[in-house]
A and B are shown apart, each in its own frame.
Chain A
Amino acid sequence: MMARAAFLVIAGIAVAAALALVLRRNTVHGALFLVVNLGCVAALYLMLGAIFLAAAQIIVYAGAIMVLFVFAIMVLIPGKEETGPDPRRTWRLLAAPLGGALLLELILLVVGRTAAPAPTGAAPSDNVAAIGRLLFTDYLLPFELTSVLLLAAMVGVLLLARSREGSAEPQGAGPEASVRGSAKPQGSEPEASLR
């Protein structure tokens, strides 16, 4: 009974924060509502006994990624909150009934289901150990593939984020390796002073 009440409260806050995130025009406020939402979802994970997932949610999403979000918003759109009439209003109006139909379908499906079978797998108490074991046995290949993915993403970020190169760099001199490039100061002046 207690758990049910707690669930309803947390889930209610999560849904309200998600709605506020979508509806608020001020992007910084939106980002802050997202923090609330992510925190509530972490609490729901805790209630399910998924300790590791809850911690990862807080550290990775509510922590690291949100900081990045807020920085990106502040750097990219300073003081230019989305205002004025919506140019794609008709499309959004069309999306509403379609989304509504999907929501209704989901609700019907979930309500119509018989009680979910008991969760299989490890007991919640040694959650982290179980996840660790799975990651290095059954899910070893996806785990390793994500490291390749991160490597590719890193190469890509350095590639795309490099500022103007060209005449600034001396022709073929220096130990400049392209993948390491962005760690160096860019542009002609710092380049010249370094040498």
Chain B
Amino acid sequence: MIAFALEIGVGALMLLVFIATLVARGDDRRWVGWLAAAGTLALTLLALPLSPAPAQLGGAFVQDGLALFAKRLFLAATFIGLLGGLSLPGRPFLRRAGEYHILVLASLLGMLVLASARDLVLLFVAFELMSIPLYILAGFAKREAGAVEAALKFFLVGSVSSAVMAYGLSFVYGAVRTTSLAGVAKAMPDGDGLLILGLLAVFGGFGFKIAAFPFHMWVPDTYEAAPTPFVAWLSVTPKAAGFVALFRVYFEGMGTAVSFWVPVAAGLATLTIVAGNLMALPQQNAKRLLAYSGIAHIGYMLVGFAATSASGTAMVLFYLVAYVFGNMGAFLVVEAVARSEGSEHLAAFRGLAQRSPLLALAMLLFLLSLGGIPFVAGFWAKLYVFWAAATAGLYWLVLLGALLTVVALFYYLIVAKRMYIEAPPATTRVPLEPMLALAVLLCALGVVILGVYPKPLVMAALRVAAPLF
């Protein structure tokens, strides 16, 4: 049972929130959100001392180091995301706080199981459990302009990707006659064409979920129209879950056959980095800018994936942690500014440093981390990923990635310029809800601590990635 402790915990918390929603009265039901956030915090703390447990259900569910690493990350990121969303204004968030949190927790449960799934059926069900609540949440503020369109785009693209994935999984099953991933890994060195075709289709399905280049169309529109604290969470945790599942399906137990995925991942990484960074350049809306830059970051993580080695995997895990803090933080600052100025346009950031120096400093830290400047987390993340790719001999990919990092720095620094150099439209402080401030503070701490002292996390990532190969 101890192996399922976190899943049972999240499931129970979800049911608790469900019941609380049933008995809640009145127009302001945000207290239900406090329950969800407190429960998530408790589960995050519970997850820290957990140690790996033996495989369950005939090897379909494993609680190994990788799973635990991922689960701690998902829980912590969800806690920060919930904190940021606690004080959301607007009628749907007051009255429908219960539904919002039920859906977030259901999606979180899917992610937790996904990190442990070693069976194709469990993998697919967990994937859908993660995705379907996200579609609903994207359309949560359905009276807002564009929300329905955003949710519908996300839903249609997501459903097609799930269908492609299921189709691919059917080929995989047809080729290996087992739903166990261990069996798939064992059959992989034979180079069965049907198996490879199936796994490529599955890769396409994953590509949609992590928003790699040709599958990224839903990202900017969905991010722009969906509620920002939700987007902060959406932009990081499902991506992290997608990468962990990628490691499980494509690396674990495959031995030397992993080299087959090098050209696939390297090609996808090239396209994603180039397209994400170039499309981010002309953006004037902060959320769209972060959406495209997020696509580029997925490309950098795919560089680490293309290394197809234990160190590459570990560095992607480190990158994911750095990205969680940096990207969530940036989105949460956008939320704070947008709530005060009523606009997500980059112009809303003018003179932020004079109005709210600490908020501007936090945003600067996040931007520097996303841009990859030394002594914030993102620098080490990029460096390590490039280093792992170079060790694997992918020099051209490293060169391309480093080149486009400069492009990325340009658009991040434009935001910084607006905050620090341009004159503010008003002199009042940007009001900041305490819980949103706490969420921003946690992200800033994460970015700084990982930037100054990344070693323990790197070591932990290397430890959990080693058994995959």
**CB <8 Å contact, B57 and A155:** no
**Interchain CB contact under 8 A, B22 and A145:** no
With the chains together, A47 CA to B142 CA distance in Å?
A: 47
A142 at the A/B interface (Cβ < 8 Å)? yes
Contact of B129 among A108, A138, A149 (CB under 8 A): A149
Q: Is residue B314 contacting chain A, with contact meaning CB distance below 8 A?
A: no
Q: Is B95 an interface residue (CB 8 A)?
A: yes
B-contacting 9-mer, from A25-33, A49-57, A171-179, A186-194:
A171-179
| 1/0 contact string of B6-24 vs chain A (CB within 8 Å) | 0000010010001001111
Could you say which residues of chain B place their CB within 8 Å of the CB of A149?
Answer: 106, 110, 125, 128-129, 132
Query: How far is B58's CA from A148's CA once the two chains are assembled, in angstroms?
Result: 22
Contact A117/B177 with A148-B14, A148-B109 known, Cβ cut-off 8 Å: yes
Minimum C-beta distance from B386 to chain A (A): 33
Given the contacts A159-B140, A166-B91, A179-B22, A152 and B194 also touching, CB distance less than 8 Å: no
**Are the CB atoms of B125 and A142 closer together than 8 Å?**
yes
* Contact of B96 with A178 in the complex, beta carbons under 8 Å: yes
Q: Does B122 contact A (CB under 8 A)?
A: yes
- Residues in B96-144 with C-beta less than 8 Å from chain A: 96, 98-99, 102-103, 106-107, 109-110, 113, 119, 121-122, 125-126, 128-129, 132-133, 135-136, 139-140, 142
Chain A nearest CB, measured from B438 CB (Å): 27
Q: Which of B14, B22, B129 contacts A177 (CB 8 A)?
A: B22
**Residue from the set A109, A141, A180 with the largest chain B CB neighbour count within 10 Å:** A141
The answer to whether B106 and A152 have CB atoms under 8 Å apart is yes
Known: A146-B125, A152-B106, A156-B99. 8 other contacts (CB 8 A): A142-B126, A145-B129, A149-B129, A149-B132, A156-B136, A159-B99, A172-B26, A178-B29
Question: Are A142 and B121 also in contact (CB < 8 A) when A112-B193, A148-B14, A179-B98 are?
Answer: yes
Q: Is the CB of A109 within 8 A of B129?
A: no
- Would you list which residues of chain B between 172 and 208 have a CB under 8 Å from chain A? 177, 193-194, 197
Q: Report chain B residues within 8 Å CB of A105.
A: 197
Q: How close is B94's CB to chain A, nearest CB, in angstroms?
A: 11
The answer, yes or no, to whether B60 is at the interface (CB within 8 Å) is yes
Q: Which residues of B contact A152 (CB under 8 A)?
A: 102-103, 106-107, 129, 132-133, 136
B60 touches A141 (CB 8 A): yes
Are B21 and A177 in contact, CB atoms less than 8 angstroms apart?
yes
Q: How far is the CB of B19 from chain A (nearest CB, A)?
A: 10
Tell me the nearest residue of chain A to B106, going by C-beta: A152
A179 touches B193 (CB 8 A): no
- Give A148 to B99 CA distance when docked, in angstroms: 14
Q: How far is the CA of A110 from the CA of B58 in the complex (A)?
A: 31
The 15 listed contacts between A and B (C-beta, < 8 Å) are A112-B193, A113-B194, A119-B177, A141-B60, A145-B109, A145-B110, A145-B126, A148-B14, A149-B132, A151-B106, A152-B136, A155-B103, A156-B135, A177-B23, A178-B98
Interface SS, A side: helix
- B25 to A172, Cβ gap below 8 A? yes
Residue of B nearest to A174 (CB): B25
Name the residue on A nearest B14 (C-beta): A148
Is B113 in contact with A141, judged by CB distance below 8 angstroms? yes
Q: Scoring A residues 114 to 143 as 1 if CB is less than 8 Å from chain B, else 0, what string do you get?
A: 000101100000000000000000111110
Q: How far is the CA of A171 from the CA of B129 in the complex (A)?
A: 34
Q: How distant is A109 from chain B, measured CB to nearest CB, in Å?
A: 4
User: Which residue among A106, A109, A145 has the maximum number of chain B CB atoms within 10 Å of its CB?
Assistant: A145
A160 within 8 A of B: yes
B106 close to A179 (CB less than 8 A): no
**With A148-B109, A152-B103 as given contacts, are A178 and B132 in contact (CB-CB < 8 Å)?**
no
0/1 per residue, B24-66, Cβ < 8 Å to A?
A: 1111010000000000000000000000000001101100000
Q: Which residues of A contact B60 (CB under 8 A)?
A: 138-139, 141
Instruction: Report whether A178 and B21 are in contact in the complex, using a CB–CB cutoff of 8 Å.
Output: yes
A146: chain B residues at CB < 8 Å are 125, 129
Rounded to whole Å, the gap between the CB of B55 and the closest CB of chain A is 12
Q: Is the CB of A138 within 8 A of B133?
A: no
CA of A75 to CA of B395 in the docked complex: distance in angstroms?
A: 57
Contact: B27 with A171, CB < 8 Å?
A: yes
Q: How far is the CB of B455 from chain A (nearest CB, A)?
A: 36
Is A153 part of the contact surface with B, judged by Cβ < 8 Å? yes
Please give, as numbers and ranges, the residues of chain B lying within 8 Å of A138 by CB-CB distance.
57-58, 60
Specify which chain B residues have a CB less than 8 angstroms from the CB of A158 in the assembled complex. 99
CA distance A110 to B29 in the complex (A): 57
Q: Is there contact, CB below 8 Å, between A142 and B96?
A: no
A92 to chain B, nearest CB (A): 15
| Neighbour of B61 across the interface among A141, A165, A171, CB < 8 A | A141
In the complex, chain A residues whose CB is within 8 Å of the CB of B136? 152-153, 155-156, 159-160
Give Cα A174 to B132, complex, Å.
31
Q: What distance in Å separates the Cβ of B59 from its nearest Cβ neighbour in chain A? A: 10
In the complex, which of the residues B29, B106, B132 has the most CB atoms of chain A within 10 Å of its own CB atom? B106
Contact of B122 among A113, A142, A153, A156 (CB under 8 A): A142
* Also in contact, A110 and B194, with CB within 8 A (given A145-B125, A151-B106): yes
